């Protein structure tokens, strides 16, 4: 019997329960009767729900065609007048409503407002014969923490819910470029899980609803995997773009930090600047990453946001030389589960057989130490703010929240301990850069997570993504085309766990229960090498899939 989407997973006191109920009822009431799936269908869902949007009968042929297109494809058609903004957002809005009923991915649904905006765009296009900007008519789904004027937002706790008074800078820019907003998506309690379960309820993985869609931008990944959005906006401080993309077979880039604006994004704490999250796109094609960032960066957001660095964005069509690809089979802490190891081996064989790239084995440099450092950085306050904010909302702490703020990584630092921590951070980063330079690689191919998507509430290791947050190295996740196959991905090749975390992942591995989950890989480059990384990703993916 598969897990079902259940609202308001964290329990709480009476006030909390009433408020969470109200928020969930508000959300559910936003889905009109015309977009409701039949109770019979919902009563007997398969484990893999990705086929339902096509077969449920709520979408027209044209709507199904539109929702097959990626952002780049949509914008090309919108710019030629082959699609209207209204029909585009209507198709995506309908499909998002269906997705929500299957995997509980939305926290706000405002298709009517979106259609009004789309009408204005269509009128502009009809009148002026041109688009308002490169994203004219493009529906973009937005993670809850990102303020969109008049829409629901929070910092990951019920006590921090808010109706945004204004667009944040990123949303202003996207709106000016022609984007149409229609949904906001779920994120976990504290926005600090690689899963997505909050006072809005639990979001499921469309490929196997017994599994997590990842997190913290897991409302986005679940929605995107069901094609309820062409492109979404996430934010990644420990894996929160790459992890949900990896668990749902999507493309996602965590760019070098402070290259895209995230001013105004909600979070529960004051500026903990020991490491900085980076916002970026989550999408269904690699080219959409380039398309999205090109459009945003061309507006020179660094003139308006004091955090931003004015670097150019231009992904080369071709790399100017044969690139050196490092391959890291594991990080020395947690052994990849069988489907991830299979993907790595396949990639290695294909890349080694190619003349286009040079392949070298890459041994992880003290990733365990780096992971310890960034975990210590996340909650220098010993988690006291999380506990306070929970208490203020009468909201019970979830096991993954408790885990992430628990000792030994988390304890209340004095300022001197914080200075010392940041000193160790910088020393580690310098040593890592020296090591990377010695390896002379251009990009590193590695797992984004120890496995494909895991059962709910088990995402207790962030090392494969968080290490690159610490380093501030851009990382892009992309699908290999493989899925966990219980016939092939039977068992680990080794028996000795490398760590407690490794043992944990070995213990819960269950190929039958976890079947069908897509397998993604991660490609990483040195800080600020985002454009080279995206050019290399194209080559690497092509070779792997050849």
Distance CA(106)–CA(226), nearest Å, equals: 12
Quick check: 438 binds a second copy (CB under 8 A)? Answer: no
Choose the binding region for a second copy from 142-150, 192-200, 427-435, 457-465 (rule: CB under 8 A).
Answer: 427-435
Residue in 198, 103, 95, 206 with CA at minimum distance from that of residue 155: 198
Quick check: 271 binds a second copy (CB under 8 A)? Answer: yes
Choose the binding region for a second copy from 94-102, 318-326, 418-426, 485-493 (rule: CB under 8 A).
Answer: 418-426
**Which CB, 37 or 373, lies closer to a second copy?**
373
β-pairing, 475-483 vs 197-198, is: unpaired
Residue 29 burial (C-beta neighbours within 10 Å; 0-12, 13-18, 19+): exposed
Quick check: 176 binds a second copy (CB under 8 A)? Answer: no
Quick check: 415 binds a second copy (CB under 8 A)? Answer: yes
**Which CB, 1 or 416, lies closer to a second copy?**
416
Distance CA(149)–CA(424), nearest Å, equals: 41
Contacts of 70 (CB under 8 A, 6+ apart): 230, 231, 283, 284, 285, 287, 288
Residue whose structure tokens are 């010993």 = 382
For residue 303, give the DSSP letter. Answer: G
Residue in 523, 334, 499, 364 with CA at minimum distance from that of residue 428: 364
Q: Where are the alpha helices (DSSP H) in 177-283?
A: 218-225, 242-247
Quick check: 416 binds a second copy (CB under 8 A)? Answer: yes
User: For the window 64-103, what string marks contact with a second copy as x by the rule CB under 8 A?
Assistant: ----------------------------------------
Quick check: 385 binds a second copy (CB under 8 A)? Answer: yes
Residue 326, token pair as written in the block:
């490092």
Residue 504, token pair as written in the block:
């944990």
How near is the Cβ of 420 to a second copy at its closest, in Å? 5
CB 304 within 8 A of CB 284: no
In the list 202, 254, 425, 506, the residue contacting a second copy (rule: CB under 8 A) is 425
How near is the Cβ of 532 to a second copy at its closest, in Å? 12
Quick check: 300 binds a second copy (CB under 8 A)? Answer: no
In the list 243, 331, 380, 530, the residue contacting a second copy (rule: CB under 8 A) is 380
β-pairing, 180-185 vs 106-109, is: antiparallel
In the list 433, 457, 485, 513, the residue contacting a second copy (rule: CB under 8 A) is 433
Q: Which of residues 186-245 bind a second copy (CB under 8 A)?
A: none
In the list 419, 488, 490, 545, the residue contacting a second copy (rule: CB under 8 A) is 419
**Which CB, 414 or 546, lies closer to a second copy?**
414
Calculate the dihedral angle through the C-alpha atoms of 292, 294, 295, 297, rounding to the nearest 10 degrees. Answer: 110
**Which CB, 237 or 451, lies closer to a second copy?**
237
**Which CB, 123 or 423, lies closer to a second copy?**
423
**Which CB, 208 or 299, lies closer to a second copy?**
299
How near is the Cβ of 385 to a second copy at its closest, in Å? 7
Quick check: 439 binds a second copy (CB under 8 A)? Answer: no
Quick check: 430 binds a second copy (CB under 8 A)? Answer: yes
User: What sign results for the dihedral spanned by CA atoms 413, 394, 211, 182?
Assistant: negative
Distance CA(522)–CA(328), nearest Å, equals: 10
Radius of gyration of the chain (CA): 22
How near is the Cβ of 443 to a second copy at its closest, in Å? 15
User: What sign results for the dihedral spanned by CA atoms 162, 165, 166, 167?
Assistant: positive
- 332 HSE (CA, 13 A, CB side): 11
3-state secondary structure of 57: coil
Quick check: 387 binds a second copy (CB under 8 A)? Answer: no
Residue 293, token pair as written in the block:
């960032």
CB 378 within 8 A of CB 192: yes
In the list 7, 263, 486, 497, the residue contacting a second copy (rule: CB under 8 A) is 263
In the list 384, 406, 507, 545, the residue contacting a second copy (rule: CB under 8 A) is 384
In the list 270, 317, 320, 512, the residue contacting a second copy (rule: CB under 8 A) is 270
Quick check: 160 binds a second copy (CB under 8 A)? Answer: no
How near is the Cβ of 320 to a second copy at its closest, in Å? 16
Quick check: 504 binds a second copy (CB under 8 A)? Answer: no
Cα dist. 364→191, 329, 537 in Å? 28, 9, 20
How near is the Cβ of 321 to a second copy at its closest, in Å? 16
- Tally of residues, the chain: 546
**Which CB, 302 or 504, lies closer to a second copy?**
302
Quick check: 437 binds a second copy (CB under 8 A)? Answer: yes
Choose the binding region for a second copy from 124-132, 175-183, 269-277, 358-366 (rule: CB under 8 A).
Answer: 269-277
| Positions marked active-site | 143, 216, 240
Distance CA(487)–CA(71), nearest Å, equals: 35
Q: Which residues bind a second copy (CB under 8 A)?
A: 263, 269-273, 302-307, 309-311, 380-381, 384-385, 412-416, 418-420, 422-423, 425-426, 429-430, 432-433, 437, 471, 527-528
């Amino acid at each position: 019997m598969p897990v079902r989407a259940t609202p308001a997973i964290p329990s709480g006191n009476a006030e909390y329960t009433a408020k969470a109920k109200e928020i969930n009822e508000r959300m559910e009431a936003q889905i009109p009767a015309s977009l409701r799936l039949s109770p019979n269908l919902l009563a007997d869902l398969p484990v893999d729900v990705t086929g339902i949007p096509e077969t449920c009968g709520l979408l027209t042929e044209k709507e199904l065609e539109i929702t097959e297109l990626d952002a780049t494809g949509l914008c090309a058609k919108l710019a030629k007048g082959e699609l209207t903004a209204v029909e585009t957002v209507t198709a995506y809005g309908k499909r998002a409503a269906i997705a929500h009923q299957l995997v509980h991915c939305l926290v706000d649904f405002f298709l009517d407002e979106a259609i009004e905006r789309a009408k204005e765009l269509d009128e502009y296009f009809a009148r002026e014969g041109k688009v308002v900007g490169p994203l004219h008519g493009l529906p973009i789904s937005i993670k809850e923490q990102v303020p969109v004027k008049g829409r629901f937002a929070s910092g990951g706790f019920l006590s921090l819910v808010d109706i945004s008074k204004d667009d944040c800078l990123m949303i202003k820019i996207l709106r000016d470029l022609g984007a149409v907003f229609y949904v906001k998506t779920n994120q976990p309690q504290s926005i600090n899980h690689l899963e997505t379960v909050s006072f809005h309820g639990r979001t499921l993985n469309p490929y196997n609803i017994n599994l997590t869609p990842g997190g913290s931008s897991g409302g986005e990944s679940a929605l995107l995997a069901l094609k309820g959005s062409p492109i979404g906006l996430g934010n990644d401080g420990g894996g929160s773009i790459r992890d949900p993309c990896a668990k749902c077979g999507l493309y996602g880039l965590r760019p070098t930090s402070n290259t895209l604006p995230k001013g105004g994004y909600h979070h529960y704490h004051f500026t903990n600047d020991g490491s900085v999250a980076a916002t970026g796109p989550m999408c269904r094609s690699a080219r959409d990453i380039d398309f999205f960032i090109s459009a945003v960066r061309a507006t020179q957001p660094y003139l308006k946001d004091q955090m931003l660095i004015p670097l150019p964005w231009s992904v080369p069509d071709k790399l100017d030389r044969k690139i050196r690809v490092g391959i890291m089979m594991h990080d020395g802490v947690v052994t990849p589960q069988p489907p991830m190891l299979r993907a790595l081996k396949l990639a290695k064989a294909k890349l080694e057989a190619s003349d286009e790239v040079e392949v070298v084995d890459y041994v992880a440099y003290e990733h365990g130490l780096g992971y310890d450092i960034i975990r210590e950085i996340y909650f220098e306050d010993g988690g006291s703010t999380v506990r306070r904010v929970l208490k203020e909302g009468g909201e019970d702490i979830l096991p993954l929240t408790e885990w992430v703020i628990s000792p030994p990584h988390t304890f209340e630092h004095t300022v001197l301990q914080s200075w010392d921590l940041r000193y160790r951070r910088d020393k580690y980063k310098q040593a890592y850069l020296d090591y990377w330079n010695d390896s002379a690689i251009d990009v590193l191919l590695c797992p984004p997570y120890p496995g494909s998507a895991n059962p709910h509430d088990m995402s207790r290791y962030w090392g494969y993504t968080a290490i690159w947050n610490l380093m501030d190295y851009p990382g892009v996740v992309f699908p290999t085309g493989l899925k966990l196959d219980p016939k092939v991905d039977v068992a680990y090749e080794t028996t000795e766990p490398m760590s407690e975390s490794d043992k944990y992942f070995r213990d819960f591995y269950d190929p039958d229960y976890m079947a069908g989950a897509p397998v993604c890989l991660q490609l990483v480059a040195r800080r600020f090498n985002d454009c080279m990384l995206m050019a290399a990703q194209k080559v690497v993916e092509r070779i792997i899939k050849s």
